């Protein structure tokens, strides 16, 4: 992510230091163990990753029937795929997909805090949590997208979806033109976390 919502390393380092201090205190007080922390981190590194979202997107690109189902009942459609068993929990029951289409672009934000579809996108990027991004993207999405490198045609409708504890939105981006002969593996390389958040197009990063 570049532009206005890129933060200097010292800010991220300060946050990392606070997290480390909190972890140390909780371990010292016996609330958690270091093994618990390692297990949680391993879970998000190996199970709840953007790879899950990429598989869903490619399935939607290559199977029109699935593409229709996944925006109606996202958890049921996802259950058809070979994804980690934990997808049904860890916020998986709240997943809701929206699909970009010619003339329609979707953007996912969270104005209240930083609710995020962890099972399909992993942990949220730092800038997603920033109050400036959250408030501006809700008020002036076209301008914000332009500032971070996504210039959409003036006649493209931008729909903003506000994630919450009840709905964790993610985007099925449009399939890039000229990819008809691509294998599933090649198509997956075109799907980025940013495109599944609506801040970039598939095949590109912001």
**Which residues are annotated binding-site positions for Fe(3+)?**
110, 113-115
Residues making up the binding site: 110, 113-115
Helix (H) or strand (E) holding 121: helix 118-121
Whether 135 is catalytic = no
173 touches 196 (CB < 8 A): yes
Active site residue 113: yes
Q: What is the DSSP string of 143-199?
A: HHHHHTT----TT-EEEEEE--SS-EEEEEPPPPTT-TT--HHHHHTT--HHHHHTS
Token pair 């933060």 is found at 7
- From the list 113, 135, 146, 205, the catalytic residue is 113
Catalytic status, residue 115: yes
Q: How many CB atoms lie within 10 A of CB 109?
A: 24
Known catalytic residues? 110, 113-115
């Amino acid at each position: 992510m570049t532009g206005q919502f890129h933060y200097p390393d010292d800010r991220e380092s300060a946050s990392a230091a606070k997290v480390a201090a909190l972890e140390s205190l909780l371990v010292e007080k016996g609330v958690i163990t270091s093994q618990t922390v390692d297990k949680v981190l391993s879970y998000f590194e190996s199970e709840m990753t953007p790879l899950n979202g990429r598989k869903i997107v490619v399935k939607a690109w290559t199977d029109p029937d699935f593409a229709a189902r996944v925006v109606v009942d996202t958890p049921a459609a996802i259950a058809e795929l070979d994804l980690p068993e934990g997808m049904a929990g860890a916020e998986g029951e709240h997943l809701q997909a929206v699909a970009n289409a010619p003339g329609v672009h979707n953007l996912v934000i969270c104005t209240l805090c930083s609710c995020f579809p962890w099972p399909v996108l992993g942990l949220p990027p730092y800038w997603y949590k920033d109050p400036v991004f959250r408030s501006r993207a809700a008020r002036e999405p076209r301008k914000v997208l332009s500032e971070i490198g996504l210039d959409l045609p003036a006649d493209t409708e931008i729909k903003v979806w506000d994630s919450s504890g009840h709905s964790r939105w993610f985007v099925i981006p449009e399939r890039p033109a000229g990819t008809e002969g691509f294998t599933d593996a090649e198509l997956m390389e075109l799907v980025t976390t940013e495109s599944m958040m609506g801040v970039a197009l598939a095949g590109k990063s912001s």
